[in-house]
Structure 1
Amino acid sequence: MENEAAATTLAVAGAVCWSIQLIPQIIVNYRRHHARGLHASMMFLWAIAGVPLGVYNISHNLHPALQVQAQILTALSLVTWAQCMYYNAKWSILKVASMACGIGSILAGIEVGLVYALRLAIAQHLEWPSILVAAISAALLASGVLRHYWDIYQTRTVRGISFLFVGIDALGDLTSLLSLLFRVPFDTLGAVIYGTELVLWIGIMLCGLVLGTDDSLPADLAMNGVTDVGSVPALTTASARVDSADVIGRSTSRVASSIGGSSIRSRHSNYSVFRTASLRSVLDE
């Protein structure tokens, strides 16, 4: 049943969520002055994914909020990608800014051209171009999230990602998907695009609950010579308060040896909104 008010409300909610989804992650990256655990490839794929998503939403006359939503995705993804290149790849600010602006301009030009092309195909009653664009959009969005699944498989934990960001993004997918339910005719391809990413984000959240997440290194370990919080597994603040004496008393030798390449057992937490990344290369070697 078509309900314009409900469709508008949900579409706007989806656009708002996607407008702020990456902002928590951007703030976290800025505050901790690194983006370890956050993959530049994920952000770049999302920036590109905004193009076919925008092409599809505009060409199929979905709600204007959903049309704007795709542009926001590309813009914020490029900003986050730029942070990854600045902090992780050590690019200069000038190089980061010029590359981000150049890529953004190219993607905008491609999107405009594809919108006209897809509208022409729709006018000629061709269905395969719309299916292709929707499939590419869903695949790119999914590929960005799947990059974290590979990281989870390698590290056996969820690291370097803001769960507030995950929740907001998933909520944006959900509200966008629900907005299509109140649109006649129902847009099946659009539902596939949003539904695919929603399912993958739910999987990430379940992984965080089951496997745990890494936090920053407590001061107790830093005092024992560990200076890079991204180089060893994290202890939670709560665990550090309870177990700090035990850690110092029984694990000083393990901490010292971990600097030289052996391992220390990580403890995980699900209580902090923002997670800092930590490399697991020293775990259980």
Structure 2
Amino acid sequence: MPVNAVAENGAAGFSVLGTIGTVFWAFQLVPQIIKSHRRKDTDGLSAWLLLIWVAGSIPQGTYLVVQNINIPLIVQPQLFSTFAIIAMAQCWHYSHGIALRKCIAAGVVTGAVAGGLETAFYFLCKLGERRGTSAATKTMGIVGAVLIVLGLVPQYYEIWRYKEVKGISLWFLAIDCAGGVFSLLSLVFKAEFDGIAAANYIGIVVLELGIFALYFTLNPRAKRRRQELQSEPTTETTATQQQGDEETPEWSRHTTLEKPPQQQNQ
């Protein structure tokens, strides 16, 4: 096969798999938002996870816009940060009892600040590019990738605190993990392997597979503990009643107007 044909096939493979991964990562939080809205509860879902992801999407979005890779990759962090802000506002409202209007206002302000910072970083990177250095652009890419991976760490704390995987949508995790797998596979078709991107994708997939493993390990145990706690009050009540029957004299079960059997015989 000619070299040009191989290169074209590689570029096509990278584009297709990369686009699939991008679509997954753009809408990964939608199942989480739907679940939180239906249950009106976000206990077990880390708001820090979402906040770090919003922060990470700022340098990541800056890097992709400056690089001008393709439209899906440029749009992805914008959609991702938008859904992350919505999910974070749900945490504020459902878990912390903050008024809905205040949560909406805080979400809008957070989005405006994120957009303003991304714009400022964009011009800063462009200024560096015009001066012949891409250090700022590369820094944005690395910082964004690191924050996206580190964002999953607070979720492990929530799992440790509740002793089970609670609040987080498994569909969200599955879609996010699939996005990482497709994005990782797309690197195979690149002419030059991107080690930083590969480490980012592998880190995300490993940490999310770890959450799945904890779900299948801890949640059955948590379910058994809840069942045992529900049955304990009945057992304790029965034992208390039996103990009371043994300690209470026979004559004291009569009304106060009645005398003990010995006195009645007298």
Same fold judged by TM-score > 0.5? Answer: yes
Q: Is the 8 A contact 1:158 1:212 kept in 2?
A: yes
Residue identity opposite 1:54 in structure 2:
G
The alignment yields a C-alpha RMSD, in angstroms, of: 2.7
Residue 44 (structure 1) aligned with residue 51 (structure 2): yes
Residue 79 of structure 1 corresponds to 86
Greater helix proportion:
2
Structure 1 gaps, min length 5: 215-232, 257-285
1:117 aligned residue (118, 121, 124):
124
Residue 211 (structure 1) aligned with residue 218 (structure 2): yes
Deviations 1:218-256 (A, max 9, x none): xxxxxxxxxxxxxxx5459xxx9xxx8x987x5334798
Q: Structure 1: how far apart are the matches of 2:45 and 2:232?
A: 29
Residue 170 (structure 1) aligned with residue 151 (structure 2): no
Q: Structure 2: how far apart are the matches of 1:60 and 1:165?
A: 28
- Report the Cα offset of residue 150 of structure 1: 1.8
Residue 254 of structure 2 corresponds to none
Q: Structure 1: how far apart are the matches of 2:162 and 2:42?
A: 17
- Report the Cα offset of residue 122 of structure 1: 3.7
Identity of aligned residues (%): 27
Residue 60 of structure 1 corresponds to 67
Q: Structure 2: how far apart are the matches of 1:99 and 1:184?
A: 44
Q: Is the 8 A contact 1:138 1:196 kept in 2?
A: no
Using the size of structure 2 for normalisation, the TM-score is: 0.76
Q: Is the 8 A contact 1:137 1:193 kept in 2?
A: no
Residue 193 of structure 1 corresponds to 200
Q: Rg larger in 1 or in 2? A: 2
2:115 aligned residue (108, 111, 117):
108
SS at structure 2 position matched to 1:120: helix
Residue 251 (structure 1) aligned with residue 258 (structure 2): no
Q: Structure 1: how far apart are the matches of 2:59 and 2:78?
A: 10
Structure 2 gaps, min length 5: 1-5, 238-266
Q: Structure 2: how far apart are the matches of 1:180 and 1:18?
A: 16
Q: Structure 1: how far apart are the matches of 2:192 and 2:205?
A: 22
Residue 8 of structure 1 corresponds to 15
Q: Is the 8 A contact 2:63 2:138 kept in 1?
A: no
Deviates most, 105-114 or 151-160 = 151-160
Using the size of structure 1 for normalisation, the TM-score is: 0.71
